[in-house]
Amino acid sequence: MAPPNDSLNSILIVSQPESLEQYFDLSNGNLSVRGVPLLSEVPSNVTLNPFYSICQPSDDVPLPLLHRVGALSHKGGFLGFNKEEPSDRLINSLGRFSGRDFLSIFRFKTWWSTMWVGNSGSNVQLETQWVLFDVPEIKSYVIIIPIVDGSFRSALQPGTDGHVMICAESGSIQVKASNFDAIAYIHASDNPYNLMKEAFSAIRVHLDTFRLLEEKTVPNLVDKFGWCTWDSFYLTVEPVGIWHGINEFAEGGVSPRFLIVDDGWQSINFDDDQDPNEDAKNLVLCGSQMTARLHRLDECKKFKNYKGGCMLGPNAPSFDPKRPKMLIGKAVELEHAEKARDKAIQSGVTDLSEFERKIQKLNQELNELLGGEESSVFNNGCERSPCGAESYGLKAFTSDLRTKFKGLDDIYVWHALCGAWSGVKPGATHLNAKVTPCIVSPGLDGTMNDLAVDKVVEGGMGLVHPDHANLLYDSMHSYLSGVGITGVKVDVIHTLEYVSEEYGGRVELAKAYYKGLSDSLVKNFNGSGLISSMQQCNDFFFLGTKQISMGRAGDDFWFQDPSGDPMGVYWLQGVHMIHCSYNSMWMGQMIVPDWDMFQSDHLCAKYHAGSRAICGGPVYLSDYVGSHDFDLIKKLVHPDGTIPKCQNFALPTRDCLFKNPLFDNKTVLKIWNLNKYGGVIGGFNCQGAGWDPKEHRIKGYPDCYKPIFCSVHVSDIEWDQNIEAAYLGKAEEYLVYLNQADELRLVTPKSAAIQSTLQPSSFELFTFVPVQKLSDRIKFAPIGLTNMFNSGGTVQELEYESEGEFSAKMKVKGGGNFLAYSSGCPKKCYLNGAEVAFEWSEGKLNLSLPWVEEAAGISELGFVF
């Protein structure tokens, strides 16, 4: 039994050493950290409260976590403020700063956030989720994190003359307040990565509305390879195409271990459809479905009509891989024509006849391509027959998939947080749904124009009453679980903040929905089968991650610029990596950061693959059927569909934290991660695009799209961030393998940094492995398989012996070229117990390893010196 709350509070206080003074002081209008001024001109209505004076821990907090937070509580505290008049939205200055470098994360769309740097409070962007300050005077860092206080959530925003403002809002004019004791949390540490852990641990103990990643189980797919249907089909997704897609991967030698059936499988229609029981037809591109609502909770007709066994027989229907591309291409033409008409209207053009003729012609052509959509999908015996006892629908389809593809562990499907993009159709199901107007917060005025926001606002949200949120999710998920679905990708999460007016505000509405979602996740999907998406706001992380343990770390993979910049096919890819790496700093405290899918035949596919190899999460693609680069895929994925995953999630190196790797003309994005027996640094030239605070959009900066100098040192790896890997950072010498250059180098901690030049949209991976001294004349270090991007991740076990038959023994997973450094030539090499030949020249030891299916691809190596 857990101790009562009073005892827990005592533990928190007792855990703090008496000899340690509080790090922060607020006096005479100055907020200082260990005597160093941080903010000046702090208004008199702003308060600083010690952690233990505010925090009342619950019995849900694990005692080791409580002790850990208590021991560091002197390093943090809560900021608050009070106003004379209560309101549902209050803005207050926290003080002024200038000339101090900061890194921040802000929302550039309702759903997505990214990094921003500056050196003044006026440089902060609207909807900033946190600000990290560099305090070199005391070799430390300070973070300010807006949090939840009562029924209010908060964010930072710019003020005038260097002031940084905090905005607290409830999301309902019926919910007002005037006083906050803990609207933001402030914390200091001499290590920026420890700072994140310590700060979010403290907030977790204080709020007790979420849990840290270390407290949760992660989805099974986290170290697997998979395929998502989104870019492959968009809304034209259907069973026969999916089948052929999975089969192509299997025949290509890389069997997916998970499948995500993205948007396009649900039963949705529009409010003005003639038949309220029929599915919407002729949907192709994202946007065309955004005002539609669920009218049933099961699959739409094209999935419901799938006949069990039809793909297993000799006469299984074929699939034309050109069809999705043709449909998507024609739909894009139509979309561009409609945009041209809308632009003409805005420009004052009155004669729109030519635009309308073109749109009508393209509509007709698209409808002809889509004509007989269902009959073209289900033929040769796959259509539903009018009688008989055969099995049909999703259950039959998932069963057939597992019959054919034995390694397919997980099948996920997509749904929006509110059901569909615009919720649930009132009266169409057993759920109590109501079309609720969408009100966008003023804090989002500074975000990008977004089609998704426009569409959702246009149609309103078919919101299921929060009292029925549990019923909504259990109804959907229990059905899905029963038909063979093992998890869900939950998207469009932050629409909740638009519809909270009548429901006690955004915090209370979110709590009801996230509780329902979490309960259903536990009941139906083993407590972890969920990927969160379009969720990058503090409401979600502080209120929605008690059970959810994985989520997207960046905006979507865009294979081209939707705004039409032809260079976007290149520069958008670097922007994606910036989103993911910097967001992982905070999101990774609560969820596994998911770097999203990409396409293996994209112009920048190799660039993406390099980042996914060391990101620390799953690897999945959204290739069109018939469009794969298997040579590239096999550098990421083993034949059994597993991946050589890093131990942690990738993060920017310290020397990147306060720089702009997107358009400062000089900074390469460097991310670090750890393998079991070494570390890895990825250098990525992301220059060429980024946020424009005046235009409120991400755009190209072509003058920055050029070669950039990159400098890498072994000290860039934060070895101590993994207790089990800390000893690796104490080696006297390291072997470094440059993956793209195919070079080996020996370095010491005192060596100069490795210098290289990276071309635009290119990268290098630097694998560092400690060198072991086996004898006076022999030094040894294994790199792993050089045909894999994350070579070091292929080394599963490593053991050195001073006595015994083998001086070096290891287990390596995968097939291909094994590379190690050996200062002297081994006398013998053994592979799976048999002596084998090897190549040794000038310290390079090479050996070809087979993939042995019966051993799960693991080879046992032993070297005798």
CB atoms within 10 A of CB 371: 10
Strand partners, 89: 169
Q: Which range, of 113-117, 266-270, 326-330, averages the lowest pLDDT?
A: 326-330
Rounded to whole angstroms, the Cα distance separating 370 from 306 reads: 18
Q: What are the backbone dihedrals phi and psi of residue 226, each rounded to the nearest 5 degrees, phi first?
A: -145, 180
Q: What is the pLDDT of residue 16?
A: 63
Helix count and strand count (H, E) for the chain: 18, 45
Q: What angle do CA 678, 667, 108 make, to 5 degrees?
A: 100
Q: What is the pLDDT of residue 13?
A: 63
> Which token pair is 116?
């921003």
343-366: buried (b, 16+ CB within 10 Å) or exposed (e) per residue? eeeeeeeeeeeebeebbeebeeeb
Could you read off the pLDDT of 724-748 as tens digits, one per residue?
A: 999 999 999 999 999 999 999 999 9
Half-sphere exposure of 565 (CA within 13 A, CB side): 15
Could you read off the pLDDT of 312-370 as tens digits, one per residue?
A: 999 999 999 999 999 999 999 998 999 899 999 999 999 999 999 999 999 999 999 98
Strand partners, 764: 683
CB atoms within 10 A of CB 416: 26
Could you read off the pLDDT of 587-619 as tens digits, one per residue?
A: 999 999 999 999 999 999 999 999 999 999 999
Give yes or no for residue 148 having a pLDDT over 80.
Answer: yes
The percent of residues above 70 in pLDDT, for the chain, comes to 96
Tell me the whole-structure pTM to 2 decimals. Answer: 0.96
752-779: buried (b, 16+ CB within 10 Å) or exposed (e) per residue? eebebebebbbbbbbbbbbbbebeeebb
The percent of residues above 90 in pLDDT, for the chain, comes to 90
**Spatial CB neighbours of 350, under 8 Å, sequence gap ≥ 6:** none
Q: What is the pLDDT of residue 562?
A: 78
Q: Cβ distance 158 to 140 under 8 Å?
A: no
Give yes or no for residue 1 having a pLDDT over 50.
Answer: no
Q: Which residue has the higher pLDDT, 3 or 35?
A: 35
The CA-atom distances, in angstroms, between 848 and each of 334, 508, 830 are: 53, 59, 12
Q: Cβ distance 117 to 101 under 8 Å?
A: yes
Q: What is the pLDDT of residue 375?
A: 45
Residue in the block written with tokens 């005479």: 28
> Which token pair is 531?
């990927």
Burial class for 329, CB neighbours closer than 10 Å (0-12, 13-18, 19+): middle
Q: Cβ distance 821 to 863 under 8 Å?
A: no
Mean pLDDT of the chain: 94
Q: Cβ distance 328 to 288 under 8 Å?
A: no
Confidence at 785, pLDDT banded by 50, 70, 90: very high
> Which token pair is 217?
């189980």
Q: How large is the average pLDDT for residues 174-184?
A: 98
Counted residue by residue, the chain has a size of 865
Q: What is the pLDDT of residue 376?
A: 45
Q: Cβ distance 222 to 645 under 8 Å?
A: yes
Could you read off the pLDDT of 365-420 as tens digits, one per residue?
A: 999 998 855 444 444 456 665 544 469 999 999 999 999 999 999 999 999 999 99
Q: What is the pLDDT of residue 387?
A: 46
Q: Which residue has the higher pLDDT, 337 or 9?
A: 337
Q: What is the pLDDT of residue 378?
A: 47
Give yes or no for residue 566 having a pLDDT over 90.
Answer: no
